[in-house]
Structure formats: structure tokens, C-alpha cells
Amino acid sequence: MEDGVAEIAPALIAALDLFGIAVFAASGALAAARLKQTLVTFAFFALLTGVGGGTVRDLLIGAPVFWVQDWRFPATCLATALLVWLTPVRIWSPRALDWFDAVGLAVYSVFGAWKAASLGIGPLPAMMMGVITACVGGVIRDMLAGVPSIILRPELYVTASALAAGLYVLLFWLGMPIILAAAISAAAGFALRAAAIQKGLAIPAYKG
């Protein structure tokens, strides 16, 4: 079992990783499109949104920054920026992008927690690394674009990421095989985010 995991997990994780990068990069490039920016700005937004979260995670856990070591990650961001630039903005349905982003959010939360835990980092910081991996790119994108950050909206977003990352860390510490723990926790995070998208679920604000 563990052998199978060790063989399958890296390839599967690498594929999910490039998918997540592309989805986040597309949301960054679309923010540049809404601002009627140039191709250079498209590339800049796509890169920062696509690799921002994982970069902060790698710096914090002291790992080599993933995209500096592997050119396929920045190349994916640049290709995504070019694709968005070459297509009219109306073919990018915000609704469709929300759903891709939900998949990216769930997958990346688990991926970040997995990477941190696999380097021997404790449960609470490992869970936080999952949230950072999934959410920091969007925070940077919103800051660059000058729109209110996802962090400041009551909509369930960071919470879904925290659920996915926290559940993974819990199941992993309970001894569950990595792939099973990852699948269950990513599904749980995606389900919560899906409910938020469809039903507008939000968490209560401070009354003072």
C-alpha cells in the first residue's frame, strides 16, 4: 500500500499541482483583463496569483521555492496569461471560474498541508501552510487589482480551505494512508466551498 502511494502520489500530485497553478493564474490574468491592462501586467498578475501561495509556504517551511527549481510552473502561468490575453473576456464565465477555483482551493489546501507535514512540521503550522498555499495567491491578486480581499468577505472561502487542510492533518496524524486522507479532506473542503457558491453561505460578522 505505502509503496503504491509512493509511486502514484508524486505523479498525481504534480498533475494536480499544475492544474491548480493554471486555475489560479487564470483568475489573476482575468483580474488584469477587467482592468484593461497590457500583456506584461497579465503575466505579472498570473504569476503572482498562480505561484504566490506556494512561494510563501516554501519560504516559511524552509523548502527550495518550487517554481525556481522547475520552470514548468512559471511557464504554465505565462501560457495561461497569453491564453487569456488572446481570448475575449466574455468566454471566461465567472461562474465556471468559481467552480475551477473551488477545485483549486480544496486541492491546494491539502497539498500545502501535505508538503509541510511531510517535512516534519507540526499539526497547527502544517494546517496553516495548507491555508496559506490556497489563499495567499488570491489575497495578492485582490491587493494588486485594488478590490476588497477575499479575506475581508464573509463568504465561506478561507473556512473551506481551513476545513480541508485541518481535516487532512487530523486524518494523517490518526494514521490514515496519505491518498485516502487527501481525497477525503479535499472532498470535504470542496463540498463546503460548493455550498457557499450555490447557497451564498457566509459566516457571521462581529457585532461589537
Q: Does 44 bind its own copies (CB under 8 A)?
A: yes
Does 175 interact with its own copies (rule: CB under 8 A)?
A: no
Is residue 154 within the footprint of its own copies (CB under 8 A)?
Answer: yes
CB nearer to its own copies: pick between 125 and 177: 125
Q: Which is nearer to its own copies, 199 or 206 (CB)?
A: 206
Q: Does 206 bind its own copies (CB under 8 A)?
A: yes
Q: Is 35 in the site for its own copies (CB under 8 A)?
A: yes
Task: Specify whether the CB–CB gap between 157 and 135 falls below 8 A.
Answer: yes
Residues 5, 179 contacting (CB under 8 angstroms): yes
Strand partners, 155: 202
Number of residues that bind its own copies (CB under 8 A): 52
CA–CA gap between residue 188 and residue 172 (Å, rounded): 15
188 near its own copies (CB under 8 A):
no
123 binds its own copies (CB under 8 A): yes
Question: Cell 509511486 identifies what position?
Answer: 7
Q: Among 85, 20, 92, 78, which Cα is nearest to 46's?
A: 78
Please tell me whether residue 157 adopts helix, strand or coil conformation: coil
Least Å distance, CB 53 to its own copies, is 14
